[in-house]
Amino acid sequence: MSGVSPAQTITDAQAKRLWAIARGEAKLSESEVRTIFAEFQVESTAQIQVTQYDKVIERIKKFNPGF
């Protein structure tokens, strides 16, 4: 992603999409999503960097609390 500062955080639209995927598509609870956030050393979507966004989405899609 050229031209993107490493410290730039995701937009409100991206945050809403992340929650829609997590809660709707992946059927995760808020605590499960927060567990994933902890893996990326963030506490909320406001702290997710643009460079992390795709990785967080992929992790949400692959999350399985049974393992």
pTM above 0.75, yes or no: yes
The residues facing 49 across adjacent strands are: 9
Q: Over the stretch 31-60, which tens digit does the pLDDT of each residue have?
A: 999 999 999 999 999 999 999 999 999 999
Query: Would you say how long the chain is, in residues?
Result: 67
Name, in order, each residue with C-beta under 8 angstroms of 60's C-beta and a sequence gap of 6 or more.
18, 21, 22, 26, 28, 33, 36
Rounded CA separation 1/54 (Å) = 12
Percentage with pLDDT > 90 across the chain = 84
